[in-house]
């Protein structure tokens, strides 16, 4: 019997020794069988087809003209950056739900089956006599199964899990703020691209038509040169002028030629889709853009609403919770266990039993690290406060820059609009005065190109103005998304966004000083007898449009504007003319604004063109000068009263 047992033991030992070798051989053969497999062209084509279908799946086709509110709605509903942030927020919420389960006790169910190829037996030693027994005895079957159910609850783990769950809740709030930031960035990008696309829609047809005319004129000039119908130098000069016009048109077209494609990408319209844009009453849209110079109110809104600063608030909470979690980790750990067990071993006295236990443990070495741990947490809090202060300063700087850019963009738009109006009137006068000869055709074409480029510049300035307005909204953290967005219905969602945008535009961020209209009186301007224009009347009208209050008579605190005109001698049918606007400001100081030009004696409307240009060039500068004086005077009066 003993020999048989020894033989079985030797056989089992040999089998166990062969197991590692067998596993090694199997692993080597398996590893050698793995070869890199490149993605096939068929798989790539399937991926491309799937991606193209997914990109524009469920995208509602455009119906009619695209409005700004619908562009917002489409960008927020179909833009993948927004979808990504929404998924990140959903993922953070799921992580919070998952973290809550860590606070529950552990309930462990286990079932197992054990088998061995021989009997487990052992001898015993008599501790009193020191005599070993020669009899082997066993208390375990070769084959048995076990089952257990254990409920364990660690008080320390519960505390740490509770803190982690609260931290995950703060991460959910951070994800929401990041989604807000994406919404604000999308709103800014859409507004910028929308107005640039609108400018392209309005300006491109005229530019393309003029470009075609320039090319036709170039072909005609080359034919005339070839047929010797024009002197060579005159023909080449004419062609050089046409090339200059061609370069001007092509260069300026590049500013807007890609605008509609960029907007289509933002709102997830398939590339190549033809669509048109509607803005309604352009002048009403511009008039609804209120001035924003109440920097204190803007600063308060920015410090309260910017997603980055709100995220820092939540990060500080997480840092405080980190300190609490570190404190919990050095406390004694208390664990309670309650379990039910079953073992099929027939040699056991009881095959089923329950047991309960309570344990406490304390890591003494970790307790000594508490001072260093506390110091690290304090440093982290200081770091968080410093980072938030630096970000707050950056936010305030952005508010200042955005408001300054808005003011500059508004002034640039006003000047661009004036230039476009003047060039338009010049074109009208030039058309009426053009005669059927080559030089007149070139001058008219040059005037038309200049007018078209000025009009395009006006649209570019309008887009820059809208972009600057959007940057102010972005810099203060304005929420342009409704509380309960109706994303299932695109038109209803667009209506919601339009109402939110209107509410933001109606927000009062301008001071009383900003609406002060300085008083001014414009004196008569003496012109040569050949000129029949009323330059004083023209300037008075333009100053009123720029926000001043023209007066009939001079008085205390009323600025005065006069002008002196000097006319040069006629040289080659041209005459140099200069007008100097003299401004006597309300504080008694004086300023002057000169304007010089050349007029043609053969063009009847030359003086009318000169009068329009001279008043247009000075009106904005004079109005801004008088407004600055009025604001300073009001500030001084307020300080004296206080």
Q: Which of 54-63, 248-257, 579-588 is predicted most confidently? A: 579-588
Task: At 276, list the tokens.
Answer: 């048109």
User: 454 with 491: CB under 8 angstroms?
Assistant: no
Most distant CA pair in the chain, distance: 146
Classify strands 143-154 and 574-584 as parallel, antiparallel or unpaired. unpaired
Per-residue pLDDT band for 433 (boundaries 50, 70, 90) equals: low
Instruction: Examine the pLDDT at 403 and tell me if it is beyond 80.
Output: yes
The DSSP letter of residue 255 is T
Task: At 558, list the tokens.
Answer: 């009323």
Per-residue pLDDT band for 539 (boundaries 50, 70, 90) equals: confident
Fold (CATH) for 512-642: Double Stranded RNA Binding Domain (3.30.160)
Share of the chain above pLDDT 70, in %: 85
β-bridge mates for residue 277, sequence order: 66
Per-residue pLDDT band for 342 (boundaries 50, 70, 90) equals: very high
- Residue 447, phi then psi, degrees to nearest 5: -65, -40
User: How many angstroms separate the CA atoms of 160 and 324, rounded?
Assistant: 9
Nearest C-alpha neighbor of 456 from the set 248, 621, 247, 213: 248
Instruction: Examine the pLDDT at 167 and tell me if it is beyond 60.
Output: yes
Q: Which residues contact 427 (CB under 8 A, 6 or more apart)?
A: 447, 448, 451
**Mean pLDDT, residues 66-70:** 89
Per-residue pLDDT band for 10 (boundaries 50, 70, 90) equals: very low
Cα 97 off chain centre by: 30
pLDDT reported for residue 438: 43
Q: Identify the weakest region by mean pLDDT among 68-77, 279-288, 310-319.
A: 279-288
Task: At 379, list the tokens.
Answer: 């440093």
Q: Identify the weakest region by mean pLDDT among 2-16, 126-140, 230-244, 523-537.
A: 2-16
- For residues 130-143, one letter each, b for 16 or more C-beta atoms within 10 angstroms of the residue's C-beta and e for the rest, the string is eeeeeeeeeeebee
Instruction: Examine the pLDDT at 492 and tell me if it is beyond 60.
Output: yes
Instruction: Examine the pLDDT at 386 and tell me if it is beyond 50.
Output: yes
The backbone region for 272, taken as left when phi is positive above 0, alpha when psi lies in -120 to 50, beta otherwise, is left
Instruction: Examine the pLDDT at 513 and tell me if it is beyond 60.
Output: no
Q: Identify the weakest region by mean pLDDT among 18-22, 56-60, 435-439, 561-565.
A: 435-439
Instruction: Examine the pLDDT at 223 and tell me if it is beyond 70.
Output: yes
Classify strands 106-115 and 143-154 as parallel, antiparallel or unpaired. antiparallel
**Mean pLDDT, residues 38-51:** 74
User: How many angstroms separate the CA atoms of 98 and 168, rounded?
Assistant: 10
Of the chain, the end-to-end C-alpha distance in Å amounts to 115
Per-residue pLDDT band for 542 (boundaries 50, 70, 90) equals: confident
Instruction: Examine the pLDDT at 15 and tell me if it is beyond 90.
Output: no
Q: Which of 326-340, 341-355, 523-537, 569-583 is predicted most confidently? A: 341-355
Per-residue pLDDT band for 341 (boundaries 50, 70, 90) equals: very high
Nearest C-alpha neighbor of 446 from the set 230, 231, 240: 240
Of residues 360 and 604, more confidence is placed in 360
- Residue 111, phi then psi, degrees to nearest 5: -140, 140
Of residues 243 and 91, more confidence is placed in 243
Listed as own residue / partner, the contacts of 244-252 with beta carbons closer than 8 Å and 24 or more positions apart are 245/210, 245/214, 245/445, 245/446, 245/449, 246/211, 246/214, 246/215, 246/218, 248/449, 248/453, 249/207, 249/210, 249/211, 249/214, 249/449, 249/452, 249/453, 250/211, 252/207, 252/453, 252/456, 252/457
**pLDDT, tens digit, 9 for 90 and up, residues 265-306:** 888 887 778 888 888 888 888 877 766 777 888 888 899 989
User: 147 with 110: CB under 8 angstroms?
Assistant: yes
User: How many angstroms separate the CA atoms of 59 and 490, rounded?
Assistant: 10
User: 210 with 247: CB under 8 angstroms?
Assistant: no
Per-residue pLDDT band for 29 (boundaries 50, 70, 90) equals: low
Please give the full DSSP string across 182-232, using - where no structure is assigned: HHHHHHHHHHHHHHHHHHHHHHHHHHHHHHHHHHHHHHHHHHHHHTT-S-H
Cα 227 off chain centre by: 59
Average pLDDT across the chain, whole number: 80
Which residue, chain included where needed, has tokens 């010797």?
228
pLDDT reported for residue 31: 53
User: 79 with 266: CB under 8 angstroms?
Assistant: yes
Q: Identify the weakest region by mean pLDDT among 29-38, 237-246, 486-495.
A: 29-38
Q: Identify the weakest region by mean pLDDT among 3-7, 176-180, 412-416, 503-507.
A: 3-7
Task: At 55, list the tokens.
Answer: 């990109």
pLDDT reported for residue 595: 87
Helix (H) or strand (E) holding 43: helix 41-55
Share of the chain above pLDDT 90, in %: 6
Instruction: Examine the pLDDT at 211 and tell me if it is beyond 70.
Output: yes
Q: Identify the weakest region by mean pLDDT among 10-14, 396-400, 467-471, 575-579.
A: 10-14
pLDDT reported for residue 11: 45
**Mean pLDDT, residues 151-162:** 83
Task: At 464, list the tokens.
Answer: 């820059």
How much of the chain is in helix, strand and coil states, percent to nearest 5? Answer: 60, 15, 25
């Amino acid at each position: 019997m003993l020999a048989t047992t020894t033989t079985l033991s030797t056989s089992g030992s040999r089998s166990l020794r062969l197991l590692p070798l067998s596993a090694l051989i199997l692993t080597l053969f398996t590893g050698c069988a793995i070869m890199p497999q490149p993605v096939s062209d068929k798989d790539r084509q399937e991926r491309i087809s799937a991606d193209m279908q997914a990109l524009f799946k469920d995208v509602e086709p455009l119906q009619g003209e695209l409005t700004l509110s619908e562009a917002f709605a489409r960008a927020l509903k179909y833009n993948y950056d927004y979808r990504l942030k929404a998924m990140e927020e959903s993922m953070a919420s799921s992580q919070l739900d998952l973290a809550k389960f860590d606070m529950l006790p552990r309930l462990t169910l286990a079932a197992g089956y054990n088998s061995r190829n021989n009997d487990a037996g052992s001898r015993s030693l008599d501790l009193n006599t020191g005599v070993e027994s020669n009899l082997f005895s066993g208390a375990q079957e070769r084959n048995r199964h076990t089952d257990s159910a254990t409920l364990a609850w660690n008080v320390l783990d519960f505390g740490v899990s509770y803190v982690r769950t609260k931290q995950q809740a703060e991460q959910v709030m951070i994800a929401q703020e990041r989604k807000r930031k994406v919404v604000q960035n999308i709103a800014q990008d859409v507004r910028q691209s929308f107005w640039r696309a609108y400018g392209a829609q309005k300006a491109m047809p005229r530019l393309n038509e003029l470009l075609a005319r320039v090319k036709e004129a170039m072909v005609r000039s080359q034919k005339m040169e070839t047929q010797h119908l024009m002197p060579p130098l005159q023909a080449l000069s004419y062609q050089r002028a046409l090339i200059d016009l061609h370069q001007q048109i092509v260069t300026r077209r590049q500013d807007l030629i890609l605008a509609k494609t960029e907007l289509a990408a933002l709102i997830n319209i398939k590339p190549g889709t033809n669509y048109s844009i509607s803005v309604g009453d352009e002048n009403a849209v511009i008039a609804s853009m209120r001035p924003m110079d109440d920097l204190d109110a803007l600063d308060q809104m920015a410090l309260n609403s910017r997603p980055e600063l709100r995220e820092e608030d939540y990060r500080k909470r997480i840092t405080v919770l980190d300190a609490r979690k570190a404190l919990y980790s050095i406390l004694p750990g208390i664990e309670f266990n309650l379990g039910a067990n079953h073992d099929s071993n027939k040699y056991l006295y009881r095959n089923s039993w329950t047991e309960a236990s309570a344990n406490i443990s304390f890591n003494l070495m970790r307790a000594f690290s508490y001072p260093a741990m506390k110091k690290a947490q304090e440093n982290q809090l200081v770091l968080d406060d410093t980072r938030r202060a630096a970000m707050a300063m950056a936010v305030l700087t952005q508010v200042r820059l955005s408001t300054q850019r808005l003011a500059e963009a508004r002034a640039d738009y006003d000047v661009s609009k004036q230039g476009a109006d003047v060039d338009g009137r010049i074109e009208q006068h030039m058309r009426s005065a053009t005669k059927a000869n080559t030089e007149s055709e070139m001058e008219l074409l040059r005037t038309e190109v200049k007018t078209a480029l000025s009009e395009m510049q006006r649209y570019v300035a309008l887009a820059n103005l809208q972009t600057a307005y959007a940057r102010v909204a972005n810099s203060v953290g304005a929420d342009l998304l409704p509380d309960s967005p109706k994303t299932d219905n695109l038109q209803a969602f667009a209506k919601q966004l339009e109402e939110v945008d209107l509410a933001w535009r109606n927000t009062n961020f301008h001071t009383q000083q900003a609406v002060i209209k300085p008083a001014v009186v414009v004196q008569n301007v003496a012109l040569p007898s050949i000129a029949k224009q009323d330059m004083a009347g023209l300037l008075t009208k333009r100053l009123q449009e720029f926000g001043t209050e023209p007066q009939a008579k001079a008085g205390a605190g009323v600025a005065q504007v006069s002008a002196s005109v000097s006319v040069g001698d006629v040289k080659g049918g041209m005459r140099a003319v200069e007008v100097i606007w003299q401004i006597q400001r309300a504080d008694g100081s004086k300023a002057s604004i000169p304007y010089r030009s050349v007029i043609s004696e053969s063009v009847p409307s030359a003086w009318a063109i000169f009068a329009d240009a001279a008043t247009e060039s000075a009106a904005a500068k004079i109005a801004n000068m008088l407004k600055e004086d009025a604001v300073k005077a009001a500030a001084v009066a307020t300080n004296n009263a206080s």
